[in-house]
Amino acid sequence: MPDIRPTVGSGALVLNATYEPLCVVSVRRAAILVLSAKAVCVADGEGILHSARDALPVPSVVRLTRYVRVPYRTHVGLSRRAIFARDGWRCAYCRGPAETIDHVFPRSRGGRHAWENVVAACARCNHTKGDKTPAELGWRLHSAPAAPKGAAWRVLGHRAPDPRWADWLDLREPEAA
Ligand SMILES: [Zn+2]
C-alpha cells in the first residue's frame, strides 16, 4: 500500500464507468484505485499525493474503469444536509438563502418528519411561520416537497458535496414533485 498522506477531511467522488455517481471515499482510497488502475482520475483536487514510487495529484473525482452493478436504492436518508441539497440551499417560501429546516405542516400539530413535509427555509420565514401552515399565511411553496430520486443522492446526506463534483451530481435544480 502506498504511503499517502491526504488532506485531512477530504474525500473523492467515485463515478461508475458510466459516469453515474456511486459514493464518496477517502482521498487515500481514491488514490489507491487510480494507482491500481481500477479507476482513472477525471478531476484533480488540491495538492499532490506522494507514495514510495509515485506522485499524483489529489483526486477529487475518479471514474471506475469497469462497470459495477449497484442495487437500486429507493430510500434516501432524511438528513439536514440532504434537505438543503434537495432544495438547492434556498428557502422554500422566499427563495432566499436557507439556514433552517421547516416542517410544512407543523410538528406541534402532528406534522411528520418526512421528505414530503420538510423544506429548507430562511430563519426569517421559519420564525414568521411558527406553528402555522403555509395555507393559513397565504404562502405558497416553490415546489411540493418530495423524496429525492437519482444517482446523485447516493453521495448526499452524509457530507457537503465538493463544488468540483457539481458537473457529475447535477444538484443545481431540485426536482419538482
Ligand atoms: Zn424565506
pLDDT of 108-132, one tens digit each? Answer: 999 999 999 999 999 999 999 999 9
Domains of the chain, with CATH numbers? 11-71+151-168 (no CATH), 80-137 (1.10.30.50)
Query: 102, 111, 155, 158: which is closest to 130 by C-alpha?
Result: 102
Averaged pLDDT, 132-156: 84
pLDDT confidence of residue 160: 64
CA of 67 from ligand 1 middle (Å) equals 43
CA of 98 from ligand 1 middle (Å) equals 7
Neighbour count for residue 27 (Cβ, 10 Å): 23
CA of 127 from ligand 1 middle (Å) equals 9
Q: CB–CB of 74/101 below 8 Å?
A: no
Which residues fall inside 5 Å of ion ligand 1, going by CB? 91, 93-94, 96, 122, 125
